[in-house]
Amino acid sequence: MVRRLGLTGNEAIAYAVKQCDVGLVSAYPITPQTIIVERISDYVANGEIDTEFVCVESEHSALSACIGASLTGLRVFTATASQGLALMHEVLYATSGLRCPIVMAVANRALSAPLNIHGDHSDMMGSRDCGWIQIFAENVQEAYDWTIQSFKIAEHPDVQLPVAVNIDGFTLTHCLEDIEVLEKEDVEKFLPPRKPIYRIDPEKPMTFGAWAMPEYYYKFKLQQQEAMENSIKVFKQVADEYGKLTGRNYGVIQSYGLEGSKVAIMALGSTCGTLRHVAKILRETKGLKVGVIKLWLYRPIPEDDFISTVENVETLIVLDRALSPGAVFGPLGSDVASMIVKRNLDFRLLNYTYGLGGDEVSMDLADKLLRLAVKVAEGVKPTSLTGYLREVV
């Protein structure tokens, strides 16, 4: 059973957490994430949920408190953004290394300097190799849905890894949408109470965070890598179960308009909606065969699914909403290039950076980009294979 509510992205995530029987939330306020934990603190103060809300002096301490709670067997949630995520950086690795299935919402925001509070993916991309499963939501409905699903993915016996649910700062965090929410009892059926495999228990002493010499350290890391690989299968299973419950079908990757198209644009997050809308207009009014590829799952990168998705693509433009100074391609572009080389694929790849500091892709800019992709596919040489989107098209 579902009902409809008008919620912002932040409020939708807080509402999902309210329904997920979370034992502890610890977070520090930072724009544009603050409303998430404000709403959760309201739920706690009003007695609507039986959750311990721990106030701390920094994001570093917030995630540290979450680790301690998770190791006792509690279901745990936190949220942050930008400089807060950067301050957590040390603890991100400890969280995944200790195999704590914590769920964290990241309200993606530009990093200083100069100071900017608007959305881009620089924060998460700076921590992309921290051992967390990473999901990017396109809209508020997805933010709600992925939060619920993430707890089940994280806590699965074959995974036991933390999950970051990413939503674009202000574009989604403060955007009010009409979404469908589940009833509490339906969430409880989908997401039973956490059953920890290992936990701190005075009656059964165990060692956590032990010292590891070289001959053992790498084995821990290989186990993390194995869990990451396992998570793709679990991810699909959870998404399939959630789809049967809600009628909303999720997976690791989503494509639009690839039937008969040899040209595609690939991106993460809210920009995909704009690209898909403009692609639809161009297909219906101009007869231009252009497609859009959206990754829901960024880490682990769903290699096999990507390969099958682009099997007929000849020209692919990958968009990165983060800058990698000094690198040839951006983070997502580098991942795609790696898969192309590994699988010996033969198609043209362009990689543009966009959207830094809230510089959103308008319909006009998306139109120019999609038209450029078609021209490149027809043999027109672009001014550059890389660069900042607004400067290139």
We report the CATH number of the domain holding residue 239 as 3.40.50.970
Classify burial at 90, counting beta carbons within 10 Å of its beta carbon; exposed 0-12, middle 13-18, buried 19 or more. Answer: exposed
What are the tokens at 348?
């043209």
How many Å apart are CA 97 and CA 90, to the nearest integer? 11
Q: What is the pLDDT of residues 357-373, one digit of tens each?
A: 999 999 999 999 999 99
Q: Distance of CA 346 to CAs 264, 319, 369, 379, Å?
A: 14, 19, 22, 15
> Above 80 in pLDDT, residue 380?
yes
How many Å apart are CA 122 and CA 82, to the nearest integer? 8
Q: Are 65 and 91 in contact (CB under 8 A)?
A: no
pLDDT reported for residue 2: 72
Q: What is the pLDDT of residues 69-89, one digit of tens each?
A: 999 999 999 999 999 999 999
How many Å apart are CA 340 and CA 313, to the nearest integer? 12
- Residue 154 sits in the same domain as residue 260: no
pLDDT reported for residue 181: 98
Q: Which of 207, 229, 246 is the last residue of a domain?
A: 246
Signed CA dihedral, 227, 229, 233, 239: sign only: positive
- Residue 176 sits in the same domain as residue 276: no
Confidence of residue 114 (pLDDT cuts 50, 70, 90): very high
Buried b (16+ CB within 10 A) or exposed e, 6-24: ebbbbbbbbbbbbbbbbbb
- Residue 304 sits in the same domain as residue 229: no
Residues 6+ apart with CB under 8 A from 11: 35, 36, 39
Which structural domain range is residue 315 located in? 253-392
Q: Please state at what angle helix 9-19 crosses helix 34-45, rounded to 10 degrees.
A: 40
Confidence of residue 1 (pLDDT cuts 50, 70, 90): low
Average pLDDT over residues 299-325: 97
> Above 90 in pLDDT, residue 56?
yes
> Above 90 in pLDDT, residue 192?
yes
- Residue 60 sits in the same domain as residue 208: yes
- Residue 260 sits in the same domain as residue 165: no
- Residue 282 sits in the same domain as residue 357: yes
- Residue 128 sits in the same domain as residue 145: yes
User: How many domains does the chain divide into?
Assistant: 2
- Residue 337 sits in the same domain as residue 201: no
- Residue 184 sits in the same domain as residue 260: no
pTM here is 0.98
Average pLDDT over residues 103-121: 98
- Residue 258 sits in the same domain as residue 237: no
How many Å apart are CA 3 and CA 162, to the nearest integer? 29
210, 215, 216, 218: CA torsion to nearest 10: 110
What are the tokens at 379?
């043999």
Q: Are 285 and 371 in contact (CB under 8 A)?
A: no
> Above 80 in pLDDT, residue 57?
yes
- Residue 206 sits in the same domain as residue 324: no
Q: Which of 212, 246, 280 is the last residue of a domain?
A: 246
Q: Which of 191, 217, 246 is the last residue of a domain?
A: 246
Residues 6+ apart with CB under 8 A from 138: 269, 270, 272, 273, 294
User: Phi/psi of residue 326, each to 5°?
Assistant: 90, -10
User: Phi/psi of residue 363, each to 5°?
Assistant: -60, -35
- Residue 333 sits in the same domain as residue 220: no
Q: What is the pLDDT of residues 234-247, one digit of tens each?
A: 999 999 999 999 99
Closest CA to 319 of 306, 307, 330: 330
- Residue 132 amino acid letter: W
Q: 113-117, 131-135, 203-207: which has the minimum mean pLDDT?
A: 203-207
CATH number assigned to the domain comprising residue 287: 3.40.50.920
Confidence of residue 185 (pLDDT cuts 50, 70, 90): very high
Q: What is the pLDDT of residues 140-155, one digit of tens each?
A: 999 999 999 999 999 9
